[in-house]
Amino acid sequence: MTEDHDDRQMNEFGFETRSIHAGAAPDPATGARNTPIYQTTSYVFDDVDHAASLFNLQTFGFIYSRLTNPTVAVLEERVASLEGGRAACAAGSGHAAQFLAFFSLLSPGDEFLVSKNLYGGSITQLGVSFKRLGWNAIFVDGTDPENFRRAMTPGCKAIFLEPLANPGGVVIDVETVAAIAHEAGIPLICDNTMATPYLWQPIQWGADIVIHSTTKFLSGHGTSMGGVVVESGKFDWNQNDKFPTMTQPDPAYHGLTFYETFGDFGFTMKARAVALRDFGPAMAPMNAFMTITGIETLPLRMDRHVANAQKVAEFLEDHPAVDWVSYAGLSSSPYRDLAEKYLPKGAGSVFTFGLKGGFDAGVRFVEACQLLSHLANVGDTRSLILHPASTTHRQLTDDQREAAGAGPEVMRISVGLETADDIIRDLDQALCA
């Protein structure tokens, strides 16, 4: 388990080395160099006392694969290391990871601030489904950090944002927003799926909790669903009375207090031992194995992703059928300065552009693409194209789609690892069609 292992020595190594080695070691039983797939539901206890200590959270170990699994544990430790975090808890999807994080923080009636520049599914989850649980999202325009300060209420328990937003290529000033969150005594939660820790590590800029849909770039090959929550270990949950779930005795564990007992990985323990245990969105060992394998090549893949994306964005910006391109790597982008500060290795490979023909042109365009796949995913080795207004953002109102950067003319592209000229050639023929 991540919580039981001090990985400081590994964190002295470079990012590429940690992408391959963090959390893993040769299997002690067989000598297998790759992390085995522990396809098992449960684990034998040494004796009754050992079982009791595990269930009481007095010792670390494996109980049942809804809670802990050796393959999943390697993934958790690796992502925590790459993000510069203290500990992590994996889940069955990115949405499941978001649920674990918010359930561990909020009580009915609580509020939290959310940047409008989000993946459409997150807007629905946070703004509609969470509301049924009594968790109330307050959406603000995150491109101006002061909007978070203006919208702050006494009942706010967190700020949530995507540092590099999906799908619009918007870059948020995380350092400034983190300062506003900490002035209010609440954590900043960042969904870092689009940037990955290779391009941006929000914890270095003040974020307290980082979430990933590991389905995307971390897995990298469109094969495996998953999500993960990483905590920085730096947030003081005792600084105010806003977080009783962390600072008050928990009746589920005979009055154990998670922050007092586990300190800088108390939030991860809460997410695992309560939210993951009781709601059960566990990551499958096979998916963890595939994601671990994907992460080993994350630095190489991201270098190619961003190099291709830059070339594609420049081509689209000059195309007569394209009205605009929103990519922070372009000199014309209003987010260029923030990208240079936070994303020196590249501005990611997912961005949007607008077609002059509007909604109908968008439909025709995606149907004309041949090399690019028309589907609802990003972060694949393959280049992917999507018309958000007719797919991922379809359930939103027109105003919500506009606010999220997914208007009727908007196309989202996830630039893959193919030869850049081939990607451009396919885009050109589809635009001409």
- Which of 295, 328, 348 represents a domain boundary (last residue)? 295
pLDDT at 156 over 60: yes
pLDDT of 121 reads 87
pLDDT of 10 reads 76
For residue 219, what is the domain's CATH number? 3.40.640.10
For residue range 352-410, list pLDDT tens digits in order.
999 998 888 888 999 999 999 999 899 999 999 998 877 766 777 778 777 666 788 89
pLDDT at 344 over 90: yes
Average pLDDT over residues 329-356: 96
148 and 283 both lie in a single domain: yes
172 and 220 both lie in a single domain: yes
pLDDT of 404 reads 66
211 and 325 both lie in a single domain: no
32 falls in which pLDDT band (50, 70, 90)? very high
pLDDT at 41 over 60: yes
331 and 238 both lie in a single domain: no
Residue pair 88/80 in contact (Cβ under 8 Å)? The answer is yes
Q: Which residues contact 127 (CB under 8 A, 6 or more apart)?
A: 114, 137, 139
225 or 402, higher pLDDT: 225
CA dist 131 and 122 (Å) reads 13
pLDDT at 130 over 50: yes
CA dist 428 and 69 (Å) reads 47
365 and 220 both lie in a single domain: no
317 falls in which pLDDT band (50, 70, 90)? very high
For residue range 90-104, list pLDDT tens digits in order.
999 999 999 999 999
CA distances for 48 relative to 45, 56, 170, 316, angstroms: 7, 12, 54, 65
219 and 162 both lie in a single domain: yes
pLDDT of 167 reads 76
- Which of 264, 295, 326 represents a domain boundary (last residue)? 295
188 and 280 both lie in a single domain: yes
For residue range 235-292, list pLDDT tens digits in order.
999 999 999 999 999 998 889 999 999 999 999 999 999 999 999 999 999 999 999 9
pLDDT of 16 reads 97
Beta bridge partners of 189: 160, 209
Question: Model pTM?
Answer: 0.94
pLDDT at 7 over 60: no
Our count of domains for the chain comes to: 2
Q: What three-state secondary structure class fits 297?
A: coil
Beta bridge partners of 250: 256
Amino acid identity of residue 308, one-letter, is N
Q: What three-state secondary structure class fits 191?
A: strand
- Quick one: tokens of 49? 């006392």
pLDDT of 392 reads 67
Residue pair 258/86 in contact (Cβ under 8 Å)? The answer is no
319 and 261 both lie in a single domain: no
Domain coverage including residue 401: 299-432
For residue range 179-202, list pLDDT tens digits in order.
999 999 999 999 999 999 999 999
256 and 316 both lie in a single domain: no
137 and 264 both lie in a single domain: yes
For residue 391, what is the domain's CATH number? 3.90.1150.10
Select from 167, 144, 146, 193 the least CA-distant residue to 334.
144
Amino acid identity of residue 183, one-letter, is E
pLDDT of 5 reads 46
- Which of 270, 295, 320 represents a domain boundary (last residue)? 295
312 and 290 both lie in a single domain: no
274 and 309 both lie in a single domain: no
